Structure 1
Amino acid sequence: MQLNLERPDYTCFLRGADGESALVNDRRLTSSFVIAPNTLVEDWLVRDAGAMVAGDLDALFALQPELVLLGTGAKQLFPPAVVMAACLQRGIGMEIMTNAAAARTYSVLAGEGRRVVAGFVIP
């Protein structure tokens, strides 16, 4: 069987994430960040998904997503309802999951060419 290396056609490749860090391209990030297929916003100020406010999503909304993924660390933790309502009011889907699950989901959706933006909370 012949194996071919396929490189993504976008610039921000998320290789994986957990509750303590993430690997984007060849860089290990140890603080919260926002990622879209062609954009990386480092040092996102969110450190606790449970304490988020709607304005925390502004960095994600600026990237014009059709879907927002929120990685909440090592454990799934839902943000306050006002945060989820901010997505719904804009007609943007939102999924909340662990960082590891969000990284896998992001990679699949970005590979499909979807307008996905993910925020990863790393305390």
Structure 2
Amino acid sequence: MKFQPDRSNAQTISSYGPGWIGIDAEKINQSLIIGSQGLRQTWPCARFEDLTAEHFAQLAALETELVIFGSGLRNRFPPPAWLAPLMARRIGLETMDTPAACRTYNILASEGRNVVAALILEA
């Protein structure tokens, strides 16, 4: 699917498909964290089953108001105990499949929100 974004200063996801997303003209094939304030880094988990509590502790260390968690090709929820670091810092977390997370991230980023998307990219 190809997006036609509104004008925004935040980095946006321009396209996506199974196992990849596009940010501007770059095609990315590995799970990543992307933020509306310019953050972009790999996230070392190829599948939902690779996740650990440390992955969510890493997200809690980010300066953001909301994390959009793209759990892969289908919506899956992490164990509640893993979310304790996020709750302690009063950071919201929304879980959805990765395509929905891409769309939601773009909308919130275009509104000027300080949002981060943690996306599992699986084929």
TM-score surpassing 0.5? Answer: yes
Q: Distance in 1 between matches of 2:114 and 2:51?
A: 23
Q: Distance in 1 between matches of 2:56 and 2:16?
A: 20
Q: CA, structure 1 residues 67+80, in 2 after alignment: closer, same or farther (shift >3 Å)?
A: same
List alignment gaps of at least 5 residues for structure 1: none
- 1:39-118 equivalence runs, <5 A: 39-42=39-42, 44-118=43-117
Q: Distance in 1 between matches of 2:75 and 2:108?
A: 20
Q: CA RMSD in A?
A: 1.9
Q: Distance in 1 between matches of 2:33 and 2:87?
A: 19
Q: Distance in 1 between matches of 2:77 and 2:49?
A: 6
- 1:11-30 equivalence runs, <5 A: 12-30=11-29
Q: Secondary structure at the match of 1:102?
A: helix
In the TM superposition, what is the alpha-carbon distance from 1:63 to its structure 2 partner?
A: 3.1
Aligned residue identity for 2:12:
F
Q: CA, structure 1 residues 51+25, in 2 after alignment: closer, same or farther (shift >3 Å)?
A: same
Partners of 1:66 and 1:92 within 8 A in 2: yes
Q: Distance in 2 between matches of 1:81 and 1:52?
A: 13
List alignment gaps of at least 5 residues for structure 2: none
Partner of 1:33: 32
Identity of aligned residues (%): 30
Q: State the TM-score, normalizing by the size of structure 1.
A: 0.83
Q: Secondary structure at the match of 1:118?
A: strand
